[in-house]
Amino acid sequence: MGARVAVSGRTVTEIEAVAREINGLAVQADLSARDDGDRLIAKVSEELGPVDWLVNNAGIADASPVQRSDDATWDRVMEINTTAAFRLCRSVVPHMVEQHYGRIVNIASTAGLTGFAYTHAYVASKHALVGITRSMALELVRMGIIVNVVCFGWVKTQMFEEAV
């Protein structure tokens, strides 16, 4: 439909394949590294122009009983699933406000609406993403920016396979 699309992820071969298929731009990024989000938005803006639409779909999960949960896992899940999404939103909002138009779609999970055993960090991160989305939606709608969250159930992905 004429949109110029950037695809990002940690695995270069996978994002390059998708980018080729849609005639888009592949930009490797690891959102567990805070500077990579800013670099990603800068690279996309440089190559394709300012970001009008943002889909935050990065996510990781871990499953373990609460007594075996560790801080490093908690921090990594929260960083990628919540903080990185917030930082990417914050990076693109100034342009969207300036043009009085923008669309942000955050991909959460049914785990953002209810709890599931053994996935404490994932559930917390997705609840937080739902809350951030609701807050940004109320704040930004007056400026022509629509912010939504999608809460899928289980989708057969690599993350799903690893969790099972």
pLDDT of residue 131: 97
> 141 lies in which domain range?
51-163
- Residue 19 domain flag: no
Please give the structure tokens belonging to residue 42: 């800068």
Sign of CA dihedral 127, 90, 76, 18: positive
Cβ burial of 125 (10 Å; 0-12, 13-18, 19+) is buried
pLDDT of residue 63: 87
> Quick check: is 122 catalytic?
yes
Which is the catalytic residue, given 8, 82, 93, 122? Answer: 122
Task: Report the domain count for the chain.
Answer: 1
> Residue 148's beta-bridge partner residues?
105
Please give the structure tokens belonging to residue 129: 């993403």
pTM above 0.85, yes or no: yes
Write out the H or E segment, with its range, that includes residue 157: none
Give the tens place of pLDDT for each residue, 119-142.
999 999 999 999 999 999 999 999
- Residue 41 domain flag: no
- Residue 40 domain flag: no
Give the tens place of pLDDT for each residue, 44-74.
999 999 999 999 999 988 889 999 999 999 9
Please give the structure tokens belonging to residue 67: 């007594």
Q: Which residues contact 81 (CB under 8 A, 6 or more apart)?
A: 58, 59, 60, 122, 125, 126, 128, 129
CATH number of the domain where residue 73 is located: 3.40.50.720
Q: Which residues contact 51 (CB under 8 A, 6 or more apart)?
A: 41, 44, 45, 91, 92, 95, 96, 102
